[in-house]
Amino acid sequence: MKDDTTMIETKKDYIDLKDERVLREIFREYFPRLRALATRLLRDEMLASDMVQEAFLYGWQKAPRLEGEAACKSYLYYCVRNKCLNYLRDHRQELAAEELQETLEDDFRVDHWIIENEVKARILEEIHRLPEVHRDIMLLRLEGNSFDEISRALNLNINTLKTYKKQIYRDLRVRLTDLGEFVVAFVLGGLLY
C-alpha cells in the first residue's frame, strides 16, 4: 500500500478512518483529487472544498474498517460524489430539472474520469521513482517534447535515448503490473512511442 515513510502501514490489510492519524494521511493524499472531482461536479472550488471536507467528516463518523487502499479510495470518491449530487438536488433551485438529470446520468463519465486520473497519478508516482535520467526523459515526454528535443535537452545521443526508452518501458511495465497489462501497454504506448 504505502512505503515505510507514510503513516499508513503496509502490514495492515485494512484502513480504519476512525484512526485520526490515518485519516489525516488519507486526507493529505486524496484531498486535491477529491476536490478536483467535486469542482468538476459543482463548478465552484470553495463549495467543492466544503463538500470534500464533509465527505471526510462523514467517513470519520460512519466508515467501518475498509479493506485496503482501493476500497478506501472508492469509498471516499463515492462519498464526495454523493455529497455533491445531494447538494445540487437540495440547494440549487435555479438548476433546471433536465440539468440535474443530466448530472445524475453523468455517473459513467465521472467514474471514467476518476479511474483515468487515478491511473495517471499512479503512473506519475512511478515515474518519479525512476532513476534521474529516466525520470527526466519521461517528464519531458509528458510535456509533449519529441525524442529529438529530449535528446538535445538532455545532451544524449539519440541511440542512447532509444535504449533508455526501452529500459523505461520495461521498468514501468513491471512497476505497474497491478493496473493490468492492457492499461499499461495503452498508456505507456502513448507516452513512449
What are the pLDDT tens digits along the chain (193 aa)?
A: 444 334 344 334 667 777 778 878 888 888 998 998 888 888 889 999 999 999 888 877 776 666 777 777 778 888 888 888 888 877 765 555 556 556 555 555 666 666 677 777 778 888 889 999 999 998 888 888 888 999 999 999 999 998 998 898 888 888 877 766 656 565 665 555 5
Report the first-to-last Cα separation within the chain, whole angstroms. 30
* pLDDT of the residue at 184: 59
CATH of domain 107-193: 1.10.10.10
**Cα angle at 149 between 148 and 153, to 5 degrees?**
120
Fold topology of 1-105: Rna Polymerase Sigma Factor; Chain: A (1.10.1740)
pTM of model > 0.75: no
Residues of the chain with CATH 1.10.10.10: 107-193
On whether the CB atoms of residues 33 and 116 are closer than 8 A, the answer is no
Residues of the chain with CATH 1.10.1740: 1-105
Reported as half-sphere exposure (CB side, CA atoms, 13 A), residue 15 has a value of: 29
**Cell numbers representing residue 171 in the block:** 521498468
